[in-house]
Structure 1
Amino acid sequence: MKPRVLVLYTGGTIGMQPSDRGYVPIRGFGRLMKAHLQTRASHQLPEYELIELDALIDSANLVPSDWGRIGGRIVEQWDAYDGFVILHGTDTMAYTASALSFMLRGIDKPVIVTGSQIPLTETRNDALDNLVTALMLAGRAEISEVCIYFDGRLLRGNRSTKLKSAGFDAFDSPNHPWLGQVGIHIDLKRHLLLKPGRREFLLPAFAADAVSVAQIYPGISARVIESHLEPDNVRGLILQTYGVGNVPDNNPSLLRVLGRAVEQGKVILNISQCIQGKIDQGVYATGASLNPIGVIPGADLTLEAAFTKLHTLLGEGLNASRVRQAMSVSICGECTC
């Protein structure tokens, strides 16, 4: 019996068409998809059904509540299908894949997020191959996690980031090996795949401004950091610091602002500006200055995983202490902790 796959079309380049304002999402992607798949050996594909979000998203317009909309549709249909494909824009694809991994914990089915750099409506595109392969991967029972598939690479969703704006190989997972590679054959790295766990679906109450992000740069003032923390509804701050987690420790005002925010119950997470490597707040004195004031080292989290994990934990209603504990461990393979 063929596996049954649900395709959720959320918008994105894969389903866009040209307009006088540039590419825009279009409705009726299911008809377009069916017409293109009929030109392939479609009998080799899983059975699939497609549903569209009521309001399609250009992924540059995505907000945290959209993760709840997407995750909610998957949860509603979970028992009816063997796997899921989410068609999504590339700009914020890694954010959505990461968020879904924290919302769909312990799953025993594949959730494959994909899209394209060129729309399916164009004669030359990367959309069809990404779509076909994602469908096939969504029918593979040995995959039990949220992944991104793009241009021959199967990546853990919460380890992924977009590195290229124009190349077909737009996505990579710099701090984790690929879960699979697709060429002539589909080569899954089974020893790297997550095992099914205790299923826990979470649909948090995401607040758009609960988490802020600040990048450290030469000459940054305490006032800049304070501006990120001042609003009462900001409950978490992600610091993108130098190297292994370094900040200017000759700026006591900046450290005082951070320490005061922690005392007020705000969660501050330290991740690196570097694409590869992990945080170690004890290697240099500049990084060690963050330890006594309660800044959490973020290991090798991507920005996307750090942002969505913090959003999810805060959206669950956890207090600051429990959020700090959860940020320090791996929930679903998102970091090397």
Structure 2
Amino acid sequence: MASRVLVLYAGGTIGMAPSPDGLRPMDGFAERLHAALAEDAHRLPHFDVQSLEHPIDSAQLRPGDWSAIAAPLIAQWDAYDGFVVLHGTDTLAWTASALSFLLMGADKPVILTGAQIPWLQARSDALGNVHAALQFAARREIREVAVCFGRTLMRGNRCRKRASSDFDAFDSPNAPALARIGIDLQVDERALLSPPARDFRNPPLSTDTVELLTVHPGLSGRRIDALSADPAVRGLILLSYGVGNLPSDDPTLSAALERAAERELVVLNLTQCWQGRVAQDTYASGAALSRLGVIDGADLTPEAAFAKLHYLLAVAHTPAQVRVHLRQPLCGEMRPG
């Protein structure tokens, strides 16, 4: 078992307590967590607790906050054998995806978890999730960013929040679970990532760099023009139908995408479907997107695509380089080909 784990409280329900004004971050969180887990101390690694200076309300998360979460992990990487990040559930999958890129080549476990019910309320799932996350953070064979929630450990950049009120709130629709929690912790070592060499980068990330647009009946090229005309926007993610289809009978859409290409906007095409992947050249309407330079997003989740595009736009030098890396799996976020 690993000897030391750092628990970073980034915010969210798991560390909230009732107050006259509603839920707010509890006082003495570190001491309370140690006391609550004291009976199981012999089964858990030694852990220290640190909180962000300004804990993040999950629904208020912005891309720049990912750098604030990554910074203390990078700064103390060599001092600990594993890490647990406590985070609000609404945007936990987005942060897990982002950390997988910012901590590229992680050679230790970074486990994100949270809670559906505040820790001090009846029936809370908080301590159970933290207990499991600490155990996974002590497993040396896990060398990646992962999400532990309910009874499952999932790759961070493959998971999505699937339910607003279930305890098993997260799922990994296009990739197998890394581990299951039953009588024993059953780790599937075949599913674990073999990380590349450590390449941590933590660039500042802009809130306005990437936009996400859901394709819907009646979508007009005016929407794409409005987004691509914004000089701050450098990347656009389309959530299209099925295997990557857009309406093919509206010339304004293709014209708008041509204009977006002219200003070197990076456009990535994902499916709206919960499971499956884009196969952009299957139908004529999708093949037309390829001719316009739209990137086939394969089986990326929207959360992983959003984080990956933010990361690449921050570290790559040209849109052409971004497009090349979007097609390649960098840290297990997509299947090759």
Letter of the 2:84 counterpart: V
Q: Report how far residue 42 of structure 1 moved.
A: 1.2
Indicate conservation of the 8 Å contact 1:179/1:190, yes or no: yes
**Normalised by the size of structure 1, how large is the TM-score?**
0.97
Do structure 1's residue 162 and structure 2's residue 161 form an aligned pair? Answer: yes
Cα drift, residue 45 of structure 1: 0.6
Sequence identity (%): 50
What is residue 15 of structure 2 aligned with on the other side? 15
**TM-score, normalised via structure 2 length:** 0.97
2:15 and 2:25 in contact (8 A); partners too = yes
Give the letter for the 1:295 counterpart.
V
Q: Secondary structure at the match of 1:125?
A: coil
CA displacement at 1:252 relative to structure 2: 1.0
Question: Unpaired runs of 5+ in structure 2?
Answer: none
Secondary structure in 2 matching 1:154: strand
State the shift of 1:16 in Å. Answer: 0.9
What is the 5 A alignment of 1:164-179?
164-179=163-178
Q: Does 324-333 or 255-264 show the bigger shift?
A: 255-264
1:215 aligns with 2:207: no
* CA contact 2:17–2:26 (8 Å) conserved in 1: yes
Letter aligned with residue 193 of structure 1: L
Partner of 2:136: 137
Aligned residues: 336
* Corresponding residue number in structure 2 for 1:32: 32
Partner of 1:267: 266
Where in structure 1 do 4 or more consecutive aligned residues deviate above 2 Å? Answer: 18-28
Give distance in 1, aligned partners of 2:258 and 2:138. 49
Give the gaps of 5 or more residues in structure 1: none
Of the structure 1 ranges 280-289 and 158-167, higher mean CA displacement relative to structure 2 is found in 280-289
Aligned residues of 2:239 and 2:272 also touching (Cα < 8 A): yes
Q: Per the alignment, in what secondary structure is the counterpart of residue 314 of structure 1?
A: helix
* Structure 2 CA distance for aligned equivalents of residues 330 and 253 of structure 1: 33
Q: Which residue of 2 aligns with 1:63?
A: 62
Aligned residues of 1:110 and 1:146 also touching (Cα < 8 A): yes
Distance in structure 2 (CA, Å) of the matches to 1:41 and 1:60: 32
The amino acid across from 1:112 in the alignment is I
Residue deviations 1:163-222 (CA, integer Å, cap 9, x gap): 100000100000001011011100000011012321000102201100001000001111
Q: SS of 2:47's equivalent? A: strand
2: CA distance, partners of 1:221 / 1:179: 41
Letter in 2 for 1:199: R
Quote how far apart the aligned CAs of 1:26 are.
3.0
Q: CA deviation at 1:224?
A: 1.5
For 1:105-143, what per-residue CA distance to the aligned partner results, in whole angstroms no more than 9, with x for missing partners?
Answer: 112100000011011111321001100010011010000
Deviation of the 1:299 alpha carbon: 0.2
Pairwise CA RMSD of aligned residues? 1.1
Distance 2:259 2:154 in 1: 38
- Aligned twin of 1:329: 328
Give the 5 Å matches for 1:219-298.
219-298=218-297
